Amino acid sequence: MSALEFLLAGTLAAALPLLLAALGEMVVEKTGLLNLGLEGMMALGAAIAFICVYHSGSHSFGFLAASLAGATLAMLFAFLVIFLKANEVASGLAVGVLGLGLSALFGKNYESLTISGLSEFGLPALSKIPVIGPALFTQDIVVWLAITGTMVLWYILNKTKLGLIIAAVGENVEAARAIGYPVGGIRCAAVAFGGGMCGLAGAYASTVYTPLWADGMIAGRGWIALALVVFGTWQTGRVAFGAVLFGVLSLGELTAQAIGVAIPSQVLSSLPYFVTILMLVAISRHRRHSS
């Protein structure tokens, strides 16, 4: 496999955990809340999914359990912020740390164990395209479902009454409450959805992308996903593009090694995080100049 084929084959899979977590957080932020606990929810989902798949052999069961675990942890955040009126930043960080601790606890006895991933299949016509077809259009079922789900989410947020309600709650809480919308219930549902998506993101990372368990394997993806929401300006298509871009960057080290580029591996490994910092600085400067 050439370097180009390797990059095309791995980009979507590398981008998927970021995409799922970022889309979930985007919905949360559209309701006017900010959950900083993505890293912990992804880590907990990764641990729960791996344990379930290891014992049952069912990826479907693992993904379902991970989604429920992520949603449950997210509801703790919702309880603190929506009902107890706790500080969002402190609550999100606390929930994130709790998720990381629970993932380490649950996964302690599974360290370095491996499981079988998912088989891949190609789209009938597109996978026949020379060079790029077999690499880009041959993916596992979760990738295809995620792409479909992204388009469905775009439609819901932009073309349906539910999308308008979510936007109304985020833009003007008092007006939405005066109209009669259950603001607390809508925000709870959005937070649960965001947590469930983070659980799915972690499940994909530990059972498909790298089907093994290692403590700390999420490795900052939750923070990158959080930055992607800002990078994508809370628009589904832009968030998806950002996830793909970071998927390419995350494969930079292996691609450079494949083509013989003599760049220190530490530099290439830190590239996604460096670009995240630059991205946030650029967005901050743009907002300051426009205000």
Decide if pLDDT at 70 tops 80. Answer: yes
Decide if pLDDT at 35 tops 70. Answer: yes
| Average pLDDT of the residues in 46-67 | 96
CATH code for the domain of 276: 1.10.3470
pTM of the model: 0.89
Decide if pLDDT at 291 tops 70. Answer: no
Confidence grade of residue 250 (pLDDT, cut at 50, 70, 90): confident
Lowest mean pLDDT among 41-55, 62-76, 249-263: 249-263
**Average pLDDT of the chain, as a whole number:** 88
Q: Which of 30, 5, 14 is nearest to 189 (CA)?
A: 30
- Return d(Cα 90, Cα 63) in angstroms, integer: 28
CA neighbours closer than 13 Å in the CB half-sphere of residue 161: 1
Decide if pLDDT at 121 tops 60. Answer: yes
| Average pLDDT of the residues in 257-279 | 67
Pull the structure tokens for residue 3: 């370097």
Lowest mean pLDDT among 3-7, 69-73, 103-107: 3-7
What confidence tens digit (pLDDT) does each residue in 279-290 have?
767 666 655 555
Residue whose token pair is 């349906």: 160
Number of domains in the chain: 1
Decide if pLDDT at 93 tops 60. Answer: yes
State residue 288's pLDDT score.
57
State residue 222's pLDDT score.
93
What confidence tens digit (pLDDT) does each residue in 164-195 have?
999 999 999 999 999 889 999 999 999 999 99
What confidence tens digit (pLDDT) does each residue in 136-169 have?
888 999 999 999 999 999 999 999 999 999 999 9
State residue 132's pLDDT score.
78
| Average pLDDT of the residues in 73-80 | 97
What domain range is 251 assigned to? Answer: 3-290
Decide if pLDDT at 18 tops 90. Answer: yes
Confidence grade of residue 268 (pLDDT, cut at 50, 70, 90): low
State residue 263's pLDDT score.
65
92 vs 263: which has the higher pLDDT:
92
Confidence grade of residue 245 (pLDDT, cut at 50, 70, 90): confident
| Average pLDDT of the residues in 252-258 | 64
Decide if pLDDT at 267 tops 80. Answer: no
Single-letter amino acid code for the residue at 162: L
Decide if pLDDT at 130 tops 80. Answer: no
